[in-house]
Amino acid sequence: MTCREAAILLSRFVDGELDSRQMRAVALHSACCGVCETEVRQLERIQQLLSDSVNATLDTVDFGDFWQRVERRMVTTRVSPWQRVLVWWSQVDRGWAIRIPAYATAAAVAVTAAMYGVRFLEPYASTVPTAIADLSTQALIHKLEADVEAVTVINDADTTVLWVSDELSGAGE
Partner 1 sequence: MHAPMMLGGLVMLGLSGVAWAQESPTVTSTAPRPKAVEVRIGVVLASNTSKDFDPRLVAFRQQFNTLFPYSSYRLVKEARQQVPWGGRIGFDIPGGRYLMVIPKGFRNDRVTMKVVLIEGTRPIVDTALSLKNHGTLLVGGPRGADGVLILSIGADKLE
Using CB under 8 A, list all residues that contact partner 1: 14-16, 19-21, 23-24, 27, 31, 42, 44-54, 57-58, 61, 138-148, 151, 154, 156, 158-166, 169-173
Question: To the nearest whole angstrom, how small is the minimum distance from the Cβ of residue 152 to partner 1?
Answer: 9
User: Which of residues 16 and 123 has its CB atom nearest to partner 1 in the complex?
Assistant: 16
User: Which of residues 105 and 165 has its CB atom nearest to partner 1 in the complex?
Assistant: 165
Q: Which residues, 6 or more positions from 163, have their beta carbon under 8 angstroms from its beta carbon?
A: 151, 152, 153, 154
Q: How far is CA 73 from CA 63, 67, 76, 100, in A?
A: 16, 10, 10, 42
Distance CA 138, CA 159 (A): 6
Question: To the nearest whole angstrom, how small is the minimum distance from the Cβ of residue 12 to partner 1?
Answer: 12
User: Which of residues 24 and 84 has its CB atom nearest to partner 1 in the complex?
Assistant: 24
Question: Counting beta carbons within 10 angstroms of the beta carbon of residue 36, is it exposed (0 to 12), middle (13 to 18) or buried (19 or more)?
Answer: buried
User: Which of residues 27 and 111 has its CB atom nearest to partner 1 in the complex?
Assistant: 27
Question: To the nearest whole angstrom, how small is the minimum distance from the Cβ of residue 52 to partner 1?
Answer: 8
Closest CA to 14 of 34, 6, 61: 6
User: Which of residues 58 and 74 has its CB atom nearest to partner 1 in the complex?
Assistant: 58
Question: To the nearest whole angstrom, how small is the minimum distance from the Cβ of residue 62 to partner 1?
Answer: 11
Question: To the nearest whole angstrom, how small is the minimum distance from the Cβ of residue 10 to partner 1?
Answer: 13
Distance CA 150, CA 156 (A): 19
Residue 155 CA from chain centroid, whole number:
19
